[in-house]
Chains A and B, each alone.
Chain A
Amino acid sequence: MAEERFGESAACWRFDAELPAYLEGEAAPQVTAHARECQFCEVVLADLEELRSASRALPREEPSRAVWANIRTALAAEGIIHEPVRAWQRWFGFLGVSHSPAPIGALAGLLILASMLLVPSKDLRRVGSIGGASEGARVAIASIGYPGQDSDLLRTVQDLEGSFQARRMSLEPSVKAIYEKSLESLNTSIRECTESVQREPANILAREYLLAAYTRKAEVLASALEFDAR
């Protein structure tokens, strides 16, 4: 069949080129005309038509809220969209407490900012990350045998953590406490597993726990961002 198709290449190539437009509903009389003449292209067209009609009958699945939250976070991070900001948030925005809903929150933000400015820069870096992956952890996970996957996962976790840090002030205290406790627990497991893997590179179980901890951390951060987006 394939040889037959190669035999009538010019018409078949044109059929191929015009097929996407035809399937999207554009007028392309050459497509149907050619399908009537070429058995191979007729079968291709019939299959695609059948797929199209079958897919129309499928129920429409709504993507999970986590998907929307992640898309929104990515778009906001790239500056493509901007979150709506209230007037008072704009006033306090330059102080870095833009998501705190109450004036007392703004005041607390000011105090925190003031104390952070008074802390030496080395300590500030430590405070700034909520127990995020240390440099040692990055080196370790990059060298434990899943180079492609792990670096992607690490980047994802870092991106999500950046978004979470920017938004955590807007979370209700009780919810924030749950997320922070969970993240602390996961950061502990990341730190301990990293040490295990560094000590014993052949320890498969420790590697699995390390990978699982990063995956869980990404899920928890995505859940926190989704919660914030409610």
Chain B
Amino acid sequence: MPANQVPKEATSVLDRYLKANARERQQSWQILFLFLIPAGLLGAAGVAHLEKTIETIANPRISLANLQGQVVVRGWDKSQVHATWVGLSPRVELDTEVLPHKGPAEKVHFSTHVLDPLVSGKDCAADYTLDVPVNSSLEIRSPQGSVQIEKLQGDASVESVGGTISVTDVAGHLSVRSVGGNIEIIRPSGRVEAYSITGNLHFVSPTSSKLRGSTTSGKITYEGDFAPGGDYTLSAYSGDMEILCPPSASFELNAKSVRGRLENAVAITPRRHAPSPPATGYSLLGTHNTGEATVELTSYSGTIRIRQQH
């Protein structure tokens, strides 16, 4: 047998080995693909999930800056901030600043850092869910995202360009501004200031004693009572305004409109020495029940409706 000739038995063994090896490799690749494909899909989706718990004082200052996405903040009884952050693109990351560096935090700042300044839209999006001490004060800037705040005793300031803002059960001073987004404020008990240009304002069951709301072309809806001694000022330009109050509500009314209509369905006793009405436009000045709160409603061309809740 020539030296370079391989015996038949050896060839068949080698062949079997190579075939078996190939099958094994194929199976290995199949298994690897089974793991790699979902991982690749997740990577391509670029979703990042982070959780952090920060020990704080009882009334820390929490600030948050997010461009797009949903922000949910809830007050809880612990002296801790628990943050869940979901970055919806690989081009964003979470920045957290905690002060002081040692001991319980007095200030916590969260911000979504966009890694590529040229990206926009959903590539900048991140969602936040924060549980914060109930006495925290909040400052949130979320230009294009929605903001939802629940159960807070401290002050809250929220700014948005187009996102909707919903605030429920906040007892501190509330300052809410959105250029084009709708604002909904449910059961506030502290001072309230809410401003929008094209967005709607919706107040539900406030117990605040000072409330200011203004929108240019949005609609204003106020559902609830007025606190005795309270001061309420609502102003719309072209949007309509609707006041729904219980029969027991007690307020002094000063409603004026330059070109809009006034539709009143509650019993108003006109003032004895009312100031002279404007030369043009519509006005209604008087007292409902004993007039304990002061309610000032103004519009330029929107209709003002005052009705009783059933």
- Enumerate chain A interface residues (CB-CB to B < 8 A): 101, 172, 174-175, 178-179, 181-182, 185-186, 188-189, 192-193, 196, 200, 202-206, 209, 212-213, 216, 220, 223, 227, 230
CB-CB nearest in chain B for A66: B159
Counting CB contacts under 8 A, is B180 at the interface? yes
Evaluate contact between A216 and B162: CB separation under 8 angstroms.
Answer: no
Evaluate contact between A203 and B143: CB separation under 8 angstroms.
Answer: no
Cβ contacts under 8 Å, A212 to chain B? 214, 235
- A selection of 10 A-B contacts at a CB cut-off of 8 Å is A175-B143, A175-B144, A175-B161, A185-B217, A185-B237, A200-B279, A205-B258, A216-B216, A230-B67, A230-B143
> With A203-B281, A209-B300 in contact, is A172–B216 under 8 Å at CB?
no
For window 100-116 of B, CB contacts with A under 8 Å fall at: none
Evaluate contact between B300 and A200: CB separation under 8 angstroms.
Answer: no
Evaluate contact between A220 and B300: CB separation under 8 angstroms.
Answer: no
Cβ contacts under 8 Å, A205 to chain B? 256-258, 278, 281, 298, 300
Counting CB contacts under 8 A, is B11 at the interface? no
Evaluate contact between B161 and A192: CB separation under 8 angstroms.
Answer: no
Counting CB contacts under 8 A, is B31 at the interface? no
B161 touches which of A178, A202, A203, A206 (Cβ 8 Å): A178
20 further interface pairs, Cβ-Cβ under 8 Å (given A203-B258, A220-B197): A175-B162, A178-B179, A178-B180, A179-B161, A182-B179, A182-B197, A182-B216, A185-B198, A185-B217, A185-B237, A189-B216, A189-B238, A193-B300, A200-B280, A202-B279, A203-B279, A204-B278, A205-B256, A205-B281, A213-B237
Evaluate contact between B300 and A206: CB separation under 8 angstroms.
Answer: yes
> With A178-B161, A178-B179, A203-B279 in contact, is A185–B216 under 8 Å at CB?
yes
Cβ contacts under 8 Å, B248 to chain A? none
How many angstroms from the CA of A189 to the CA of B218 in the assembled complex? 13
Cβ contacts under 8 Å, A213 to chain B? 216, 237
Main secondary structure of the interface of A (DSSP, over half): helix
Counting CB contacts under 8 A, is B121 at the interface? yes
Least Cβ distance of B97 to chain A in Å? 12
Cβ contacts under 8 Å, A200 to chain B? 279-280
Cβ contacts under 8 Å, B235 to chain A? 212
Evaluate contact between B237 and A209: CB separation under 8 angstroms.
Answer: yes
Count residues of chain B with CB under 8 A from any CB of chain A.
29
CB-CB nearest in chain A for B118: A101
For window 248-265 of B, CB contacts with A under 8 Å fall at: 256-259
Evaluate contact between A182 and B238: CB separation under 8 angstroms.
Answer: no
Cβ contacts under 8 Å, A216 to chain B? 197, 216
Counting CB contacts under 8 A, is B301 at the interface? yes
Cβ contacts under 8 Å, B214 to chain A? 212
Least Cβ distance of A74 to chain B in Å? 22
For window 264-290 of B, CB contacts with A under 8 Å fall at: 278-281
For window 20-67 of B, CB contacts with A under 8 Å fall at: 67
Evaluate contact between B179 and A223: CB separation under 8 angstroms.
Answer: yes
Counting CB contacts under 8 A, is B120 at the interface? yes
How many angstroms from the CA of A68 to the CA of B280 in the assembled complex? 43
CB-CB nearest in chain A for B256: A205
Evaluate contact between A181 and B280: CB separation under 8 angstroms.
Answer: no
B300 touches which of A179, A189, A202, A227 (Cβ 8 Å): A189
> With A193-B300, A205-B256, A216-B197 in contact, is A174–B278 under 8 Å at CB?
no
CB-CB nearest in chain A for B281: A205
Least Cβ distance of B48 to chain A in Å? 21
Cβ contacts under 8 Å, A182 to chain B? 179-180, 197-198, 216
